[in-house]
C-alpha cells in the first residue's frame, strides 16, 4: 500500500463545480502539503499544514481551500472550478526537520472543461 494516497487519481469536471481532492498518509508525519504542477511552471505550493491546528497559504492559494481533518488527512477543495485550475495536483508529507525530505502521493490529474 502507498504511504501517501490521493483520491481520485483522475477527474474531469465542468466549470463552476465544487471539487474535493483527498490525501491520506500512513507515514505518521505531522507536515502535509498540496502542490500543483503545470508544464513549464514546475511545482507550486498551494497550502501547507505543520500540524492539525496549523494551516498556511502557499504561493498560489487563491481559488483553493483546505481542511486538515486529522494528522493523517489533508483535503484540498476548489469551491468553483475554472479551466485554468486544470493541472496535476500532488499531496506530500514530511517529518519535522530541515533535512527531512517530502514524500509525494501519486497525484491527481484534474481537468476542468
Partner 1 sequence: GQNIDQPTEMTATEGAIVQINCTYQTSGFNGLFWYQQHAGEAPTFLSYNVLDGLEEKGRFSSFLSRSKGYSYLLLKELQMKDSASYLCAVTPPGGSAGNNRKLIWGLGTSLAVNP
Binding flags for partner 1, 48-77, as an x/- string (CB under 8 A): x---------x-------------------
Q: Is the dihedral of CA 37, 21, 77, 30 positive or negative?
A: negative
d(CA 8, CA 108) in angstroms, rounded, equals: 6
User: Can residue 88 be called a binding residue for partner 1 (CB under 8 A)?
Assistant: yes
Q: Within 10 Å of residue 101's Cβ, how many Cβ atoms?
A: 10
Residue 103 binds partner 1 (CB under 8 A): yes
Options 16-24, 63-71, 78-86, 105-113: segment touching partner 1 (CB under 8 A):
105-113
Please report whether residue 102 would count as binding partner 1 according to CB under 8 A: yes
Number of other residues whose CB lies within 10 A of the CB of residue 22: 18
Q: Is 101 in the site for partner 1 (CB under 8 A)?
A: yes
Amino acid at each position: 500500500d502507498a504511504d501517501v494516497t490521493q483520491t481520485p487519481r483522475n477527474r474531469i469536471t465542468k466549470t463552476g463545480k465544487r471539487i474535493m481532492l483527498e490525501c491520506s498518509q500512513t507515514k505518521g508525519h505531522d507536515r502535509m502539503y498540496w502542490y500543483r504542477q503545470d508544464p513549464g511552471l514546475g511545482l507550486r505550493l498551494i497550502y501547507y499544514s505543520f500540524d492539525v491546528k496549523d494551516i498556511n497559504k502557499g504561493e498560489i492559494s487563491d481559488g483553493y481551500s483546505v481542511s486538515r481533518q486529522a494528522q493523517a488527512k489533508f483535503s484540498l477543495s476548489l469551491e468553483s472550478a475554472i479551466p485554468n485550475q486544470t493541472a496535476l495536483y500532488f499531496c506530500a508529507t514530511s517529518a519535522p526537520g530541515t533535512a527531512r525530505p517530502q514524500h509525494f502521493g501519486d497525484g491527481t490529474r484534474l481537468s476542468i472543461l
